[in-house]
A and B are shown apart, each in its own frame.
Chain A
Amino acid sequence: MNFDFSDDQKQLRDQVRKFLAEKCSPKAVRVVLDGKAPYDKELWKGLAEMGFLGVAIPEEFGGAGAGHLELCVIAEEMGRANAPVPFSSTVYLAAEALLIAGSDAQKKKWLPAISSGEAIGTLALFEGKGNPSPKNVKLTAANGVLNGFKRPVADGAIASFAVVAARTGSSGRDGDISLFLVDLKAGGVEVKSLTNLDPTRGQADITFKDCKAEPLGAVGEGWSILTQVLDRAAVLCAFEQVGGSDRALEMGRDYALDRIAFGRQIGSFQAVKHMLADMYVSATLARSNSYYGAWALSTNAAELPEAAAAARISATQAFQHCAKNNIQVHGGMGFTWEFDCHMYYRRANAMALGLGSLTYWEDQLIDRMRKKNAA
């Protein structure tokens, strides 16, 4: 059994961490947080140059052709650094959808552009409130023309293209949904930025009015492709959440060591120690579940749907837990804009909703466990 990352992968992790420590300091994150830039363009360029954007994209499409374990390693570091770039929407959602369902021409057009940092992609799925479900998709596609709206769309305001879920049937079944590729610079697209919990990753409202689009994958296959994309993204996001959990835990630990009250380090009080110990427990369970997800993702195992849901739930809970208690350990200072605690609190709670809520994934997990038990 080898249930750990390889030495090369650990070396890659060190390399990414070093790179991000240099190019993605909290000060750099704050430029985006404070609304002075929509995302960190320099960092995005740097990630492309390092080969990180295309790490799991095959070489024939301009990527590094490494694999998903390597992408998990990078994801964890992106979460740790709270990187203000459209990494998850471009790499976990758009690129994965293209890899699963794209035609050769579509892959040739977009994947090299993703690897080189020229194209930002996203998935346009949600239409207001609600979780991923075919019945929540109202936007229509007829004869390759889209009409309707999507909100929130992660990184929608800076994306060059989107994978759009559209209704192509009305049977009430999953087969009613199809996916389309839309060049967001084309006509019939209106994009509006939305304020959101985590300003370091934008959200947008996109209206499609008689917008021309090309199908991605076969008509009627949309929901089945989406399910795969969401599962794969769930594992990758879990690694970001694990990275964020660890960082929030470290920040809390460091503050508990530095801060003196009642003549002692506050980390010597059991009430504080136990809070931090519980954060460690959450983060460890999340890491272990995510490793299993990474294994399932990298081997395309039949266990992926269950593993992805477990990783998603565990990592969502851990990041929310660590981010909120990090503020608690910091006391009043944790509630200031000046301290970095709220960046992780914002990211943790925004990420908890991005691919569907915690309740949604809990529901998915039980379905998938039942399916396995029945088999």
Chain B
Amino acid sequence: MGPGSAAHRFALRSVRGTREESSKMNFDDTPQEAAFRETARKWVAANAPKELHAELSKSSLGRIRLANHDIVDVGKAWQKKKAEGGWACLHWPKEYGGRDATPIEKVIWQQEEGVYGKLTQPFQIGEGMCGPTVMAWGSEDAKRRHLPKLAAGEEIWCQLFSEPSAGSDVAGLRTRAEKKGDNWIVNGQKIWTSGAHYSDFGLLIARTDPNVPKHKGLTMFFLDMKSPGVEVRPIKQANGMQEFNEVYFTDVVIPDSQRLGAVGEGWSVSLTTLMNERMSIGSRLATGVPELFDFCSNLMLEDGLAIDDPAVRSKLASWAVKSSGLKYTSYRAISALSKGERPGPENSIGKLVSGMMLQDIATYAMDLQGAAGALTGTDEETVQGQFQQMLLSSPSMRIAGGTDEILRNIIAERVLGLPGDIRVDKDVPYNKIPTKGR
């Protein structure tokens, strides 16, 4: 078979066809996307609180510190403005306060909203998790009553899932809900609840039947956080800050009309919430690489600039390619969205990779600082203590929203198709599961 044979011609036709293809790799918007971006850009330019731009740009690790403002107040104001302009929860249906936007339009909006997106932090759990759960499982009344107010920033929601004895194994939760007439009486304790102290409503999963295996005895509710018997206590974290809370429930009354899904169906309902949690495409996770690059470019070591040291360069390069790898992985996801496809599971790697990097990078930068690296003040030799802050906060990045180990299980099981763990408590009634290690 020589050139000109049938197989040869077939191959050439196949590859030649691609030359006229307009769908080559590119980073351009489609005309519709470009028009949408232009509209969004103009609106942000005209309406964003520009006086906060500098402060918002400086906040690293996703945490916002504003000198003269409370993040909840400015957040509510920005959310309200967005709602009036039609930019709040824009992928939600219009009737519930959204814009009926496509997933790619949401990504474009996030890009154009830029640093002002940080102002929406108090609403992220509501928009990303609680809202979609109410939308999927709530009554029409509940949807009309709650979703537009959530979208407009008038009401803030929190998520009440984790418990002291139910973290990664959330289905092992203990908080009880007992039926009494048309109401449920709730007793128990939740933990790691971000924003509980300023939330108006909460999405609560509780045990309604302890006599069946753990996944089968759960039911989902939502409740007014001002209900009698709800007590919110802030948790002082290992980094010295207070962002999470414990929430105690003592004989809290929840009307049956605030149940989401059937009794005993709480686990399925919670999957809606958790599935929505990982759809945070386009919002890039901090890795610490730009900070480290900057730091090494300016740090004078005994033999010269840190960035001229071969050992430093090697470490920096290895982290830089992880960071760029994450960035281009998210581009691939956006590209899939743009074509109307569902992004693949490769997005589950984002938090796994960036959480570990933050911690490693912080440790390394401090190592380069030598003895002064132990100082946590805003000294010049430790560049305002940014890596010390990163070090102290980074453990939470490897735990919150799924620990590194749970994420690896998810990749192994859902992406690679490996068997699930053997679950010794799977078919055991909840009240027969051991509660102590020794």
* A residues adjacent to B (C-beta < 8 A): 1-9, 11-12, 15, 48-52, 55, 64-67, 69-70, 116, 249, 253, 256-257, 264-265, 267-268, 270, 272-274, 276-278, 280-281, 284-286, 288-289, 291-292, 294-295, 298-299, 309-310, 313-314, 317, 359, 361-363, 365-366, 369-370, 373
Q: A273-B409, A317-B318 are in contact. Are A7 and B29 (CB under 8 A)?
A: no
Q: When the two chains form their complex, are residues B14 and A65 in contact, meaning their CB atoms are under 8 A apart?
A: no
- A49: which of B5, B346, B413 is its contact (CB, 8 Å)? B5
Min CB distance, A310 to chain B, in Å? Answer: 5
Which chain A positions have C-beta within 8 A of B346? 284, 288
Candidate in B25, B320, B349, B415 with the most chain A CB atoms within 10 angstroms:
B25
Q: How far is the CA of A236 from the CA of B29 in the complex (A)?
A: 27
Q: When the two chains form their complex, are residues A288 and B329 in contact, meaning their CB atoms are under 8 A apart?
A: yes
Q: When the two chains form their complex, are residues B416 and A3 in contact, meaning their CB atoms are under 8 A apart?
A: no
User: Is B23 part of the contact surface with A, judged by Cβ < 8 Å?
Assistant: yes
* Chain B interface helix/strand/loop/mixed: helix
Mark each residue of chain B from 273 to 316: 1 if its CB lies under 8 Å from any CB of chain A, else 0.
00000000000000000000100010000000001001001101
Closest to A316 in B: B321
Which chain A positions have C-beta within 8 A of B418? 253, 256-257, 265, 267-268, 272-273, 276
Min CB distance, B356 to chain A, in Å? Answer: 10
User: Is B317 part of the contact surface with A, judged by Cβ < 8 Å?
Assistant: yes
Q: When the two chains form their complex, are residues B25 and A4 in contact, meaning their CB atoms are under 8 A apart?
A: yes
Which chain B positions have C-beta within 8 A of A50? 7-8, 11
Min CB distance, A249 to chain B, in Å? Answer: 8
Tell me the B385-411 residues at the A interface (CB within 8 Å). 405, 407-409, 411
Which chain A positions have C-beta within 8 A of B18? 6, 8-9, 12, 66-67, 69-70
Which chain B positions have C-beta within 8 A of A65? 16, 19
The interface stretch among B60-68, B225-233, B334-342, B427-435 is B334-342
Q: When the two chains form their complex, are residues A280 and B416 in contact, meaning their CB atoms are under 8 A apart?
A: yes
Cβ contacts A to B, 5 pairs, < 8 Å: A3-B27, A265-B419, A273-B408, A273-B409, A274-B412
Q: When the two chains form their complex, are residues A1 and B338 in contact, meaning their CB atoms are under 8 A apart?
A: yes
Q: When the two chains form their complex, are residues A292 and B324 in contact, meaning their CB atoms are under 8 A apart?
A: yes
Min CB distance, B299 to chain A, in Å? Answer: 14
User: Is B352 part of the contact surface with A, judged by Cβ < 8 Å?
Assistant: yes
Q: A64-B15, A277-B412 are in contact. Are A6 and B405 (CB under 8 A)?
A: no
Q: How far is the CA of A66 from the CA of B8 in the complex (A)?
A: 14
Q: How far is the CA of A313 from the CA of B346 in the complex (A)?
A: 20
Min CB distance, A132 to chain B, in Å? Answer: 16
Closest to B308 in A: A366
User: Is B17 part of the contact surface with A, judged by Cβ < 8 Å?
Assistant: yes
Tell me the B4-52 residues at the A interface (CB within 8 Å). 5, 7-8, 11-12, 14-19, 21, 23-29
Q: When the two chains form their complex, are residues A310 and B321 in contact, meaning their CB atoms are under 8 A apart?
A: yes
Interface residue tally on B, bucketed by range:
35 or more
User: Is B421 part of the contact surface with A, judged by Cβ < 8 Å?
Assistant: yes
Q: How far is the CA of A309 from the CA of B353 in the complex (A)?
A: 20
Which chain B positions have C-beta within 8 A of A278? 408
Min CB distance, A204 to chain B, in Å? Answer: 29
Q: A268-B419, A362-B318 are in contact. Are A2 and B24 (CB under 8 A)?
A: yes
Q: When the two chains form their complex, are residues A55 and B412 in contact, meaning their CB atoms are under 8 A apart?
A: no
User: Is B81 part of the contact surface with A, judged by Cβ < 8 Å?
Assistant: no
Q: When the two chains form their complex, are residues B23 and A362 in contact, meaning their CB atoms are under 8 A apart?
A: no
User: Is B118 part of the contact surface with A, judged by Cβ < 8 Å?
Assistant: no
- B25: which of A52, A294, A363 is its contact (CB, 8 Å)? A294
Which chain B positions have C-beta within 8 A of A67? 18-19
- A253: which of B321, B322, B331, B416 is its contact (CB, 8 Å)? B416
User: Is B332 part of the contact surface with A, judged by Cβ < 8 Å?
Assistant: yes
User: Is B325 part of the contact surface with A, judged by Cβ < 8 Å?
Assistant: yes
Which chain A positions have C-beta within 8 A of B15? 8, 12, 51, 55, 64, 66, 70
Which chain B positions have C-beta within 8 A of A15? 11, 14
Which chain B positions have C-beta within 8 A of A49? 1-3, 5, 7-8, 11
Which chain A positions have C-beta within 8 A of B336? 4
User: Is B198 part of the contact surface with A, judged by Cβ < 8 Å?
Assistant: no
Q: When the two chains form their complex, are residues A366 and B307 in contact, meaning their CB atoms are under 8 A apart?
A: yes
- A366: which of B12, B317, B327 is its contact (CB, 8 Å)? B317
Q: How far is the CA of A50 from the CA of B7 in the complex (A)?
A: 6
User: Is B54 part of the contact surface with A, judged by Cβ < 8 Å?
Assistant: no
User: Is B437 part of the contact surface with A, judged by Cβ < 8 Å?
Assistant: no
Closest to B346 in A: A284
Q: A64-B12, A273-B413, A294-B25 are in contact. Are A3 and B313 (CB under 8 A)?
A: no
Q: When the two chains form their complex, are residues A281 and B324 in contact, meaning their CB atoms are under 8 A apart?
A: no
Q: How far is the CA of A48 from the CA of B4 in the complex (A)?
A: 11
User: Is B240 part of the contact surface with A, judged by Cβ < 8 Å?
Assistant: no
Which chain A positions have C-beta within 8 A of B316? 362, 366
Which chain B positions have C-beta within 8 A of A361? 317
Q: When the two chains form their complex, are residues A363 and B310 in contact, meaning their CB atoms are under 8 A apart?
A: yes
User: Is B422 part of the contact surface with A, judged by Cβ < 8 Å?
Assistant: yes
Which chain B positions have C-beta within 8 A of A274? 405, 408-409, 412
- A281: which of B313, B320, B353, B413 is its contact (CB, 8 Å)? B353
Which chain A positions have C-beta within 8 A of B326? 285, 288
Min CB distance, A364 to chain B, in Å? Answer: 9
Which chain A positions have C-beta within 8 A of B329? 284-285, 288
Min CB distance, B13 to chain A, in Å? Answer: 9
- In the complex, given contacts A8-B17, A280-B411, what are 6 additional A-B residue pairs having Cβ atoms less than 8 angstroms apart? A1-B28, A2-B25, A3-B328, A257-B418, A273-B418, A362-B317
User: Is B370 part of the contact surface with A, judged by Cβ < 8 Å?
Assistant: no
User: Is B181 part of the contact surface with A, judged by Cβ < 8 Å?
Assistant: no
Candidate in B318, B336, B411 with the most chain A CB atoms within 10 angstroms:
B411
Q: When the two chains form their complex, are residues B14 and A8 in contact, meaning their CB atoms are under 8 A apart?
A: yes
Q: When the two chains form their complex, are residues A6 and B24 in contact, meaning their CB atoms are under 8 A apart?
A: yes
Which chain A positions have C-beta within 8 A of B421? 268, 270
Closest to A294 in B: B25
Min CB distance, A308 to chain B, in Å? Answer: 12
Q: When the two chains form their complex, are residues A288 and B16 in contact, meaning their CB atoms are under 8 A apart?
A: no
Q: When the two chains form their complex, are residues B335 and A3 in contact, meaning their CB atoms are under 8 A apart?
A: yes
Q: When the two chains form their complex, are residues B317 and A313 in contact, meaning their CB atoms are under 8 A apart?
A: yes
Q: How far is the CA of A265 from the CA of B405 in the complex (A)?
A: 19
Q: When the two chains form their complex, are residues B307 and A370 in contact, meaning their CB atoms are under 8 A apart?
A: yes
Which chain A positions have C-beta within 8 A of B5? 49
Which chain A positions have C-beta within 8 A of B420? 268
Q: When the two chains form their complex, are residues A289 and B328 in contact, meaning their CB atoms are under 8 A apart?
A: yes
Q: How far is the CA of A268 from the CA of B416 in the complex (A)?
A: 12
Which chain B positions have C-beta within 8 A of A317? 318, 321
Which chain A positions have C-beta within 8 A of B19? 65-67
Q: When the two chains form their complex, are residues A2 and B408 in contact, meaning their CB atoms are under 8 A apart?
A: no
Q: When the two chains form their complex, are residues A365 and B320 in contact, meaning their CB atoms are under 8 A apart?
A: yes
Min CB distance, B223 to chain A, in Å? Answer: 36
Q: When the two chains form their complex, are residues B325 and A289 in contact, meaning their CB atoms are under 8 A apart?
A: yes
Which chain B positions have C-beta within 8 A of A5? 25
Closest to A55 in B: B15
Which chain B positions have C-beta within 8 A of A292? 324, 328, 331
